[in-house]
Amino acid sequence: TAGMMAAIVDIDVFLEAVPTVLADVVCYFKFFNFTINAVK
């Protein structure tokens, strides 16, 4: 996305965005794992 492209240019913004992105990834992973377990 445009936001990520801008973040790559601006290291400070990128570093501030990293924790948010990691939190999103963890949430998606938990949701994915929950879905897999529910299907079993």
* 1 pLDDT more than 60: no
Q: What is the pLDDT of residue 7?
A: 52
- Give Cα separations from 27 to 32, 36, 39 (angstroms): 9, 14, 18
3 pLDDT tier (thresholds 50, 70, 90): low
Q: What is the pLDDT of residue 13?
A: 76
Q: What is the pLDDT of residue 14?
A: 75
Instruction: Single out the residue of 4, 32, 36 nearest to residue 20, CA to CA.
Output: 4
Segment 15-35, tens digit of pLDDT: 888 888 889 999 999 999 999
Name residue, tokens 């990520």: 4
36 pLDDT tier (thresholds 50, 70, 90): very high
